Amino acid sequence: MNYPRTLQWRGDAADGKLVIIDQTRLPGDLVYLDLERLEQVIDAIQRLAVRGAPAIGVAGAYGCVLALREGRGEAGLELLAQARPTAVNLRWAVERVWKEAKSDASRALEAAKRINAEDVAACEAIGRHGAQLIRPGMGVHTHCNAGALATSGMGTALAPMYVAHGNGVKFRVFADETRPLLQGARLTAWELAQAGIDVTVIGDDMAAIVLREKKTQLVITGADRIARNGDTANKVGTYALALAARAHGAPFYIAAPKSTFDTAARNGADVPIEERKESELREWQGALLTPHGARVFNPAFDVTPAELISGYITEDGILSAAEITGWLG
């Protein structure tokens, strides 16, 4: 299947490096960055050069190799784990690498490669399970970017679309632009168009009318953290999209691997919500959009209550909220 590989490790533990697509440059330029130091990985995660919960989990796993190679130990790994607080995959991956490798960089690389391979396999399984929801002629709605750029495989929310397309199913995708950083317009539209999938970009405030007019009959988004009760933190605007889907009778699914489920979070109230810098709303490419006399509120994520979610597309099948706790064990 034709989808971008957003990150890969090249070399061994002693002198290798993490190579990523710089997603801040898309869709205009396809630029690769070589990350050879821990600070470079942290910076890439924080400024969204690499983003998406599974992708930053894998990037964090490889970042552990660099941290241990530099002799940074647990203190360095904690800095890495804190780079973005909402996406649970990052801390999960860092803690897993430390548990499996301790201070051995070579063992850390082996652990990181396992996490990478597991993510690729999970994406493929999510794609197979979710593809059964996509029927010929359907309009499928998504928000932000939960595709190949957000994982080390074919994606989560977009994986069913890749699989359905590969199976010859004809359908159309409507991608919310996703303000303020336009991940839907810049990233989702770019990778779907690269794959030859019919994609239309709409403003976030157009989602409800698209659903009302039945241009889309199914919504699939990704997730950054899912609580045990099914409450889901994802890119801000997901909650509003779920409300619109419920109002207009469209099923709303979350696609995510097991690593995105937080066993310690009882519900959405336990999920920390990252607040981004004001400049993301105040300026665009150097031009002032919001006057300095106005305050800015810029949460990166919101929480969609489980009662608005039709199901969770995971590597082990499509689950209901009631099945999550038993599945997590």
Q: Which residues are catalytic?
A: 224
Contacts of 99 (CB under 8 A, 6+ apart): none
Nearest by Cα to 118 from 259, 248, 20, 255: 259
Q: How far apart are the first and last CA of the chain?
A: 34
DSSP 239-298: HHHHHHHHHTT--EEEE--GGGB-TT--SGGGS---B--THHHHEETTEE-S-TTS----
Nearest by Cα to 272 from 99, 91, 119: 91
Region label for 31, one of left (φ > 0), alpha (ψ between -120 and 50) or beta (otherwise): beta
Neighbours of 128 (CB within 10 A): 16
Joined together, the tokens standing for residue 263 give 């066993």
Which residue's structure tokens are 């890495």?
A: 80
Supply φ then ψ for residue 132, to 5 degrees.
Answer: -65, -15
